[in-house]
Amino acid sequence: MIRLARGLGALLALTLPFWLANPYFLHVVIMAGIFGVLALSLNLLLGYTGQLSLGHAAFFGIGAYTSALLTLRLEWSFWLALPGAVALTALAGWLIGRLALKLRGAYFVLVTISFAGVISLVSVNWMELTNGPLGLPGVPAPELGPWSLRAKSAYYYLVLAGVALSYLVCARLVGSRIGRAFLALRENEPLAESVGVDVTHYLVLAAVVSAGLAGLAGGLYAHYTRFVSPEVFLFTYTVTMVVMVVAGGKGTLAGPLVGALLFTALPEALRLATSWQWQMLAYGVLLVLLVFFLPRGIVPALAAWRARRAS
């Protein structure tokens, strides 16, 4: 049953541009994919190690700026600039991880918020590098041999590959000794230490991978919209990621993707359905209802429902 659903989902994802030709819908799906990578990234920290980062937009933004600047200023190929962006963001994640070594809970949250604030200010004020509030126009679209991936249908596949890669990395980590160490850190830190789990090492590792994935999403975003401005650091992006992870089901692999799809499509659907005054209100009410009735998220609720039916 679940394998059938998975196979069907993969088939739909692989053929999507052929039956969803409407560029607007395709745009929504591409954005859902980029947010899917972001949600997977945040989930690694929030869902598995139990640490909430409210500065995730910073990693997204660093990834976007790095990839854009490497292609614009140094004329690197997209295929080198994107890994470069991932590497630099991972380095930023390492820095935050090291800084927050001894901090947990609210204190960790505060460090991540401040970090995002500082980075955002840098992007506005370091005119020579970032062009300040005017942003960086003309970020090149990726090319693959003789083909440009400028068309939405082509870019869709690039994003799909990014989502698949991120999912694979998360799935492999979660199913391993490393993922178990992440969980141990969330569940009971002193006990984890007592059996030899070097808690700080794994917290830093989770921050590095999480930041790297967010950087990947940033790079994908920059070369899709082909314009980067300090707006990428908006706190709203972080909040959206948290909503996606929590509503989809934190600490599950599929949850962040389900959340990303739902909460990218929902505002668009509401925009079509109602006037702007009602949009945010309806969004808020739906979110409250969701959290109220499915407190652990959509995916865990579905899993529990399946388990009940089976028994």
Contact in structure between 43 and 196 (CB atoms under 8 Å): no
Contact in structure between 259 and 297 (CB atoms under 8 Å): yes
Contact in structure between 256 and 247 (CB atoms under 8 Å): no
Contacts 24+ apart (CB under 8 A), 286-291: 287/243, 287/247, 290/247, 291/246, 291/247
- Rounded to whole angstroms, the Cα distance separating 296 from 24 reads 32
Query: Which residue lies nearer to another protein by CB, 143 or 187?
Result: 187
- Rounded to whole angstroms, the Cα distance separating 268 from 234 reads 19
Q: How far is the CB of 190 from another protein (least distance, A)?
A: 7
- Report the residue from 3, 102, 177, 309 that binds another protein according to the rule CB under 8 A: 177
Answer yes or no whether residue 216 interacts with another protein by CB under 8 A.
no
| Contacts of another protein in 190-209 (CB under 8 A) | 190-199, 205
Stretch that binds another protein, among 4-12, 75-83, 168-176, 285-293 (CB under 8 A): 168-176
Answer yes or no whether residue 148 interacts with another protein by CB under 8 A.
no
Q: How far is the CB of 161 from another protein (least distance, A)?
A: 16
Stretch that binds another protein, among 18-26, 85-93, 182-190, 282-290 (CB under 8 A): 182-190
Picking from 169, 170, 181, 168, the residue whose alpha carbon sits closest to that of residue 43 is 170
- Rounded to whole angstroms, the Cα distance separating 283 from 305 reads 25
Total residues in contact with another protein, by rule CB under 8 A? 24
Answer yes or no whether residue 125 interacts with another protein by CB under 8 A.
no
What the block records as the tokens of 149 is 């991936």
Answer yes or no whether residue 181 interacts with another protein by CB under 8 A.
yes
Query: Which residue lies nearer to another protein by CB, 156 or 182?
Result: 182
Query: Which residue lies nearer to another protein by CB, 29 or 208?
Result: 208
Which residues are near another protein by CB under 8 A? 169, 172-173, 175-178, 180-181, 183-184, 187-188, 190-199, 205
